[in-house]
Amino acid sequence: MIFWLILLGMTLATLAWLGLPFLARSRGERRGDDVAVYKDQLAEIERDLSTARIAPEEAEAARIEVSRRLLKAAERDERASGGAPAAARTRRLAAVAFTVLALPAIAAAFYYRLGAPWEAMPKPAAEAKGPNGMTLSDMIARVEAHVRDNPEDGRSYEVLAPVYMRLSRFGDAANAWRRAIALLGDTSIREAGLGEALVGEAQGAVTPEARAVFDKALALDGGSVPARYYLALAALQDGRTDEARQKWQDMLQGAPADAPWTAPIRRALAETAPAGATPPTAEAPQAKPAPGPSASDVEAAQNMNSGDRNAFIRSMVARLADRLKQNGDDPDGWARLVRAYGVLGETAQAEAATAAARKALAADAGKLAKFEDALKAGPQ
């Protein structure tokens, strides 16, 4: 409703600007050939329009303006020759009526017939329809109904939780993550998701409960990006700025320059930097990088949207691969890397990592056997 009131106000203001000059009286005398000049201008506009030298909209605007001047010139000529001013006023009123009533009516008719006025109304994200004709609210309601009928379906809770987060329904998101964890078990992704929901519920504060959850996520995967970020934020909120900055700087080591999750970290470092400090870079020397993801964490990340999932998984796998290039004496790390490539469907990369692992571990038969056994055991 507010949109249409604004549109109506803009229309009335425009019409007033166009119509008022028709009612204004002339304050000076012009040459007696003004009428002929304006008629020539109207004819020239028609010629330009017929040869496509100007657009129809420009032609119409010019025609209206020249017609207004023509009416005023004709009125002056009538007064100068003793004509009836009442006739001039009638013509002016007719022109105003046409401008104020007829033009908007014609435009509205064309817009309603050819446009889509109903699409001009802003819609909440939850009410916007998807390709299947269902709104997000409809889809949420369907999943919620499925959960009520199947309360032990942990995957449905895992699907609902990120959607609740998107709609800022943080309490519902936290409850959904708790149910997913209870039914499907702990993973770093699920614990970190619960922690983020708790932070959202607390309006950005990293509460003691959220810290405990992030600590658990970090214990499951030392490279958990959300857990590491929010634990650093917790240190900042406690007034331990140096500790927070060190944690964020550690996160940047080995991170790809285009990793999307580095942007908020760089902003946080910039906002907390001492005066004159150099902005952080991904290439700055840092501490030893954190270990990479387990195969179960990579599989859990498949529940994210494609863009976030790919950025998240590939950044972690790249960090693990870089660490193994620097120090290949880690059979468990090699096994995790091969399994991660397998989950991503990158067969060639998995085979290359397997060959590199066997080469790096060839000098230690025990570690090589451990690597081969880990591969045979499958995802952990």
Span 286-303, pLDDT tens digits: 333 334 454 445 555 555
Decide if 241 is inside a domain. yes
């179960």: which residue's tokens? 296
Decide if 280 is inside a domain. no
| Same domain for 72 and 32 | yes
Decide if 128 is inside a domain. no
CATH number, domain containing residue 306: 1.25.40
Report how far Cα 35 is from the mean position of its chain's Cα atoms: 58
Report the C-alpha gap between 222 and 291 in whole angstroms.
6
Number of domains in the chain: 3
Mapping DSSP onto H, E and C, the string for the chain reads CHHHHHHHHHHHHHHHHHHHHHHCCCCCCCCCCHHHHHHHHHHHHHHHHHCCCCCHHHHHHHHHHHHHHHHHHHHHHHHHCCCCHHHHHHHHHHHHHHHHHHHHHHHHHHHHHHCCHHHHCCCCHHHCECCCCCEHHHHHHHHHHHHHHCCCCHHHHHHHHHHHHHCCCHHHHHHHHHHHHHHHCCCHHHHHHHHHHHHHHCCCCCCHHHHHHHHHHHHHCCCCHHHHHHHHHHHHHCCCHHHHHHHHHHHHCCCCCCCCCHHHHHHHHHHHCCCCCCCCCCCCCCCCCCCCCCHHHHHHHHHCCHHHHHHHHHHHHHHHHHHHHHCCCCHHHHHHHHHHHHHHCCHHHHHHHHHHHHHHCCCCHHHHHHHHHHHHHCCC
| Same domain for 142 and 262 | yes
Span 264-280, pLDDT tens digits: 888 889 888 876 555 55
| Same domain for 313 and 266 | no
CATH number, domain containing residue 162: 1.25.40.10
Look at 33-37, 176-180, 197-201 and tell me which has the smallest mean pLDDT.
33-37
Question: Which position has the higher pLDDT, 83 or 140?
Answer: 140
- Is residue 181 a contact partner of residue 150, using CB atoms and an 8 Å limit? no
| Same domain for 56 and 28 | yes
| Same domain for 257 and 346 | no
Decide if 277 is inside a domain. no
Sign of CA dihedral 130, 133, 137, 140: negative
Average pLDDT over residues 245-260: 82
Residue 77 to residues 25, 36, 50, 61, 80, Cα–Cα distance (Å)? 13, 11, 31, 25, 5
| Same domain for 116 and 146 | no
| Same domain for 256 and 147 | yes
| Same domain for 156 and 227 | yes
Structural domain ending residue among the three candidates 120, 148, 163: 120
| Same domain for 300 and 263 | no
Check pLDDT > 70 for residue 118. Answer: no
Check pLDDT > 80 for residue 35. Answer: no
Q: Which two tokens stand for residue 182?
A: 């209870």
Decide if 65 is inside a domain. yes
Structural domain for 224, as ranges: 136-272
Decide if 289 is inside a domain. no
| Same domain for 168 and 86 | no
| Same domain for 344 and 222 | no
Structural domain ending residue among the three candidates 92, 120, 148: 120
Residue 292 to residues 41, 216, 339, Cα–Cα distance (Å)? 77, 16, 11
Decide if 127 is inside a domain. no
Report the C-alpha gap between 287 and 281 in whole angstroms.
14
The pTM assigned to this predicted structure is 0.43
pLDDT given for residue 275 in this prediction = 65
| Same domain for 45 and 116 | yes
Span 308-346, pLDDT tens digits: 555 556 667 777 887 888 778 888 888 888 888 887 778
Span 68-91, pLDDT tens digits: 887 887 777 666 655 445 666 677
Decide if 6 is inside a domain. no
Question: Which position has the higher pLDDT, 230 or 347?
Answer: 230
